Amino acid sequence: MTPFEYVSVLISIVLGLGITQIVSGVADIIHQWNKAILYWPHLMWIAFVFFLHIQEWWVLYDLRTLSEWKLPTFLFIILYPINLFILARILFPSAGADSADFKKFYFENFRKFFAWAVILIALSLSDNILFNGYTWIDQPVHIFLLIALPYFIFKDFQQEWLHKLTVILLAALLLASMLLVEWTLTI
């Protein structure tokens, strides 16, 4: 077993737990379909975080070329999947919670979600610098989001149009990055 194979197992387990949170949460929504009051920006965040889990698993394979694994490197790399798991968990009410109004749930929890999203962005930015050869200048979207999202959190914006615009813009950025970056797996 190579060192990459060894460490990728635990990273994959954490990513799998996050995907399980999302799929279970969606199944719970379907289960309470008659009571659930859905909110499309919340649903888009669910899809976005789900995609980030899949993307992280996909790009994890690029680390196979890392020649030496040390515990600090592994701990740093696993922080991103752990953070994704937390984001996945924040997206859904706790088990047994009465909340089936997802608009109300979203506005009660968006600050927590965005705070963990800021951590995720900072981890991604750092990972790109440490392992992928990018500079700060190469990552203007990351920098913008690191500035914008904390402002969003601290000002406690409750305007619905702003939340809708934010999730649409991030989805557009994700689609644009998918078109610009070729994500091929070379074995």
Structurally, how many domains does the chain consist of?
1
Domain assignment present for 144: yes
CB 1 within 8 A of CB 67: no
CA angle 134, 135, 139 (to 5 degrees): 80
Domain assignment present for 185: no
Amino acid at 171: A
Where in the sequence is the domain holding 152, given as residue range(s)?
3-180
Domain assignment present for 155: yes
Quick: pLDDT tens for 139-165. 888 888 888 888 878 887 778 888 898
CB 113 within 8 A of CB 91: yes
What's this model's pTM, rounded to 2 decimal places? Answer: 0.88
Look at residue 185 in the predicted model and tell me its pLDDT.
Answer: 52
User: What would the two tokens of residue 71 be?
Assistant: 């515990």
Residue 184 has pLDDT above 80, yes or no: no
